[in-house]
């Protein structure tokens, strides 16, 4: 079992930045790809970014490429999402996810997610 706890959400003006953190505990010796998803009101949960376990691979949805960066701090069992140039359409609840395996493809769809965090709200004012 893995527990994921997100932090770092909040209110920011359009064009601003936020950094989300996700701390993993429990069975952290297992090799999981990690990712971020988001869900806006009335919409389905959508994939945002993923990072592999061991080869440094990352993958992003098109709408955030060049603005968001996912990274991992293995010693801290933590994954980050640096969000720059935020837009009102980025507003959502952001969820941390651990995939079913070590590769980015193991965490790019909701059905491949093994563990979810509780979510953190990101609000972007225009």
| Confidence check: pLDDT of 51 > 70 | yes
> Please, which residues bridge with residue 59 across strands?
50
Weakest-pLDDT range from 23-27, 68-72, 85-89, 122-126: 23-27
**Tokens 């004012």 map to which residue?**
125
| Confidence check: pLDDT of 29 > 70 | no
How many degrees, rounded to 5, is the angle at CA 73 between CA 68 and CA 79? 45
Mean pLDDT score of the chain: 95
Backbone angles phi, psi at 57, to 5 degrees: -70, 140
| Confidence check: pLDDT of 78 > 90 | yes
Average pLDDT over residues 33-57: 95
Backbone angles phi, psi at 106, to 5 degrees: -85, 5
State whether the Cα torsion 98-101-106-110 is positive or negative: negative
pLDDT value of residue 26: 87
| Confidence check: pLDDT of 28 > 90 | no
- Buried-state track 70-85, b at ≥16 Cβ within 10 A, e below 16: bebeeeebbbbbebee
Helices (H), the chain: none
Split at pLDDT 50, 70, 90, the class of 55 is confident
Q: What is the pLDDT of residues 86-97, one digit of tens each?
A: 999 999 999 999
Three-class secondary structure of residue 112 per DSSP: helix
């Amino acid at each position: 079992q893995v527990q994921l706890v997100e932090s770092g959400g909040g209110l920011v003006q359009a064009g601003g930045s936020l950094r989300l953190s996700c701390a993993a505990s429990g069975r952290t010796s297992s090799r999981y790809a990690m990712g971020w998803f988001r869900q806006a009101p009335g919409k389905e949960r959508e994939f945002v970014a993923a990072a592999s376990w061991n080869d440094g691979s990352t993958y992003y949805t098109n709408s955030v490429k060049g603005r968001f960066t996912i990274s991992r701090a293995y010693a801290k069992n933590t994954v980050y999402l640096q969000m720059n140039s935020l837009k009102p359409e980025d507003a959502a609840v952001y969820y941390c996810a651990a995939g079913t395996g070590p590769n980015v493809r193991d965490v790019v769809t909701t059905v491949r997610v093994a563990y979810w965090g509780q979510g953190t709200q990101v609000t972007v004012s225009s």
